[in-house]
Every structure is written in structure tokens, then in C-alpha cells.
Amino acid sequence: MADAIALIDDLFFLAKVHETAKHTGVILETAATGEQLLKAAAGSPAALILVDLNAKQGALDAIERMYAANGQGSPRRVIAFLSHVQTDLAERARRAGCQDVMPRSKFTQNLAEILRGAKS
């Protein structure tokens, strides 16, 4: 059973996330599209969802639908990340309900700590 689910379609970055998850003892399930993320989240008690807002297949839409389905918000921690210059996209993610939106550099720097949060 997964501790975290990630929507990341950049294969090189996904490999880094998988490796960090392995080192932190976190079981990571991945999704390549927003639809796959929603399906995985519906069938998993994973406490953490990671979303690359630059994923080409429905990342923001998946966040919006996840929060809409849960009324006041997701019972899980959802962390979205993007390029630091994409301020409009970051604001759209916050309006959609995502409580944690951060630049990709900060996400990468804190990745091990973020993943450990899936276990607590």
C-alpha cells in the first residue's frame, strides 16, 4: 500500500523522487495523468499527494476535482510544485484548494523531509 502518490511526467525527475522515496522508506505510487492520479487517490489511503503543475496531462484539473469531491478540502496533504516564475499557475492551484504550492527548487531541496511526512 502506497504512502504517497505522485503525478510527475518528467521521467528524469521522477527517477530522483523514486530514489529519494526508497531511501526514506516511503512507498511511492506514480500517475502519469490527472485521471490516473484521481483513480489512484480514490483507491489508496496514501497521506501525501505530490503534483507537478507542469505535468502535461491535467495536473491542475486533478487538484480542482480532488478538492471539489471532498467539500472543504482534501483530507490528505497535497503538495504542488512548479517553476518559481509561474506565479499565475501557483495562484490558480491555491484557489483550487491546494494548501502547499512551492517552487520546484524548494521542493527538490526538501524532498526527503516532504516524503518522510507521508509516514507521520
Compute the distance between CA of residue 23 and CA of residue 74 in angstroms, rounded to an integer: 27
C-alpha cell at 82: 512548479
| Residue 91: Cβ-neighbour burial (10 angstroms; 0-12, 13-18, 19+) | exposed
Domains and CATH numbers, the chain: 4-119 (3.40.50.2300)
The pLDDT tens digits of the residues spanning 28-58 come to 999 999 999 999 998 888 999 999 998 888 8
Compute the distance between CA of residue 23 and CA of residue 35 in angstroms, rounded to an integer: 28
The pLDDT tens digits of the residues spanning 77-86 come to 899 999 888 8
Backbone phi, psi, residue 119, to 5°? -90, -15
